[in-house]
Amino acid sequence: GQQVMQIPQYQHVQEGEDFTTYCNSSTTLSNIQWYKQRPGGHPVFLIQLVKSGEVKKQKRLTFQFGEAKKNSSLHITATQTTDVGTYFCAGQGNTDKLIFGTGTRLQVFP
C-alpha cells in the first residue's frame, strides 16, 4: 500500500536558521497536504499542493511539490520560536485515503 516517509525525524536549530523537511511517497500522488502540530495539540492544516512542480509560499514558509508528484518539501526561512512543532505531510493517491508521513519535529533554540 501507499507509504509516505519524512526526513529528518528531528531537527534542532538556532533561532534565525533555516529549516527544511522532505516528504517521499511510494506512489504517485494526486495532491499533498501539509499540517503543523504544536506540542500537546492536534494537527492543523497549512497548505495543499496539486500540480506537478507547484511552489507555494506562506510568509517564511515555502512548499514544493515534485515534478513526478512523489515528493514534496517544506522550507522555513529564518526560524522563530513560534515555529516549534511537528510538521506532517499527507498524501492522497488514487483512493479516498489521506496517508500521513512520519513527521519532522522541529525545536528552535532562542
48-65 in b/e burial notation, b at 16+ Cβ within 10 A?
Answer: ebeeeebebeeeebebbb
Position 102 contacts another protein (CB under 8 A) = yes
76 or 89: whose CB is closer to another protein? Answer: 89
Position 84 contacts another protein (CB under 8 A) = no
CA contacts within 13 A on the Cβ side of 4: 28
* Selected binder of another protein within 11, 21, 25, 33 (CB under 8 A): 33
| Rounded Cα–Cα distance for residues 54 and 13 (Å) | 27
Per DSSP, the three-state class of 82 is: helix
- Least distance to another protein, CB of residue 110, Å: 25
Binding interface with another protein (CB under 8 A): 1, 4, 6, 9, 30-31, 33, 35, 41-45, 48, 50, 88, 90, 92, 96-103
